[in-house]
Homo-oligomer: A and B are copies of this chain.
Amino acid sequence: MENTASRRTRPAKPALTREWIVEETVRIMREEGFEKATMRRVAARLDTGAASLYVYFPNNAELHAAALDQMLSTATSAETGWWRDRLDTLLDNYAEVLFALPGLARSAVVVRPLGPNSIRVYDQLLGLLIEGGADPGPAAWGVNLLLQYVTATAAEHSSTAPKEMYSDRDPQREFAGLARAIADADSATAPNLARHGQLAYTGTPRQRMQWAISVIVEGIRATATPGTETGR
């Protein structure tokens, strides 16, 4: 009774659905960049007004989160292998999605995706940390810490050209501001930076990311959480 669309032939305007809106949003982000995936433009591509989208999403941040969840369908770890290698693969896949659209990462720092693909990533990451010997408490907290690191690192790149990939960025450009600031800081006001500051911008972005993931993973395995009581 309610769904008579199948009886009609080629309806000029198919009804909106959550999935349809998300798909179109992902398409715009991939084709035109994150910045173009505004409420107005997504609605326009669906042949409607922006107000219609508010039936399905309370605000644009939630729409972005849903689009990210959709894109995370490619983020999976291998089924076999050492837990640490699988963890690296999983985070690498997660990072790949976000580094391709740094503006989306910026949005995800504030509103985390909670759809099926995100939940699968959280679940796998939690399982891998436990498999690696972490207690469930630190592992559960650690999932947030690891994903927050990857998300924030991807977001840092959102002011640069959208096509640039993290593996081949120019460190000279990336740290230009910091290098100048360190050079300006004399050894009286910033003695430690004067002595060791140049070490901050050694290595490739990939090396720094892998180091940071090691730092966090090792820290998770070594640091107990305050207890098992729930907050409040």
Residues of A within 8 A of B (CB): 61, 106, 109-112, 114, 116, 119-120, 122-124, 126-127, 130, 136-145, 148-149, 151-153, 155-156, 158-159, 170-172, 177-178, 180-182, 185, 189-193, 195-204, 207-208, 211-212, 214-220, 222-223, 225-232
Q: List 16 A-B contacts (CB under 8 A).
A: A110-B155, A110-B158, A112-B178, A119-B185, A119-B190, A122-B193, A140-B197, A140-B199, A140-B200, A141-B203, A148-B156, A152-B155, A171-B232, A199-B225, A204-B231, A214-B223
Are A141 and B211 in contact, CB atoms less than 8 angstroms apart? Answer: yes
Q: Which residues of B contact A214 (CB under 8 A)?
A: 219, 223
Contact of A119 (CB < 8 Å), options: B61, B193, B196, B229: B193
Task: Report copies per complex.
Answer: 2
Minimum CB–CB distance from A210 to chain B (whole Å) comes to: 8
Are B202 and A229 in contact, CB atoms less than 8 angstroms apart? Answer: yes
Are A109 and B111 in contact, CB atoms less than 8 angstroms apart? Answer: no
6 further contact pairs, Cβ within 8 A, besides A123-B185, A152-B155: A124-B192, A142-B215, A145-B149, A149-B149, A215-B219, A215-B222
Are A110 and B211 in contact, CB atoms less than 8 angstroms apart? Answer: no
Contact of A106 (CB < 8 Å), options: B110, B149, B217, B231: B110
Across the A-B interface, the 5 shortest Cβ-Cβ residue pairs: A215-B219, A219-B219, A140-B199, A171-B231, A123-B190
Are A155 and B223 in contact, CB atoms less than 8 angstroms apart? Answer: no
User: How far apart sit A219 and B231, CA to CA, in the bound complex (Å)?
Assistant: 26
Q: Which residues of B contact A116 (CB under 8 A)?
A: 189
Q: Which residue of B lies closest to A172 (CB)?
A: B232
User: How far apart sit A53 and B34, CA to CA, in the bound complex (Å)?
Assistant: 27
> Known contacts A152-B109, A189-B119, A215-B219: does B198 contact A230 (CB below 8 Å)?
yes
Q: Which residues of B contact A144 (CB under 8 A)?
A: 200
> Known contacts A119-B185, A120-B190, A232-B171: does B200 contact A159 (CB below 8 Å)?
no
Are A223 and B218 in contact, CB atoms less than 8 angstroms apart? Answer: yes
Q: Which residues of B contact A201 (CB under 8 A)?
A: 230-231
Minimum CB–CB distance from A29 to chain B (whole Å) comes to: 18
Q: Which residue of B lies closest to A218 (CB)?
A: B219
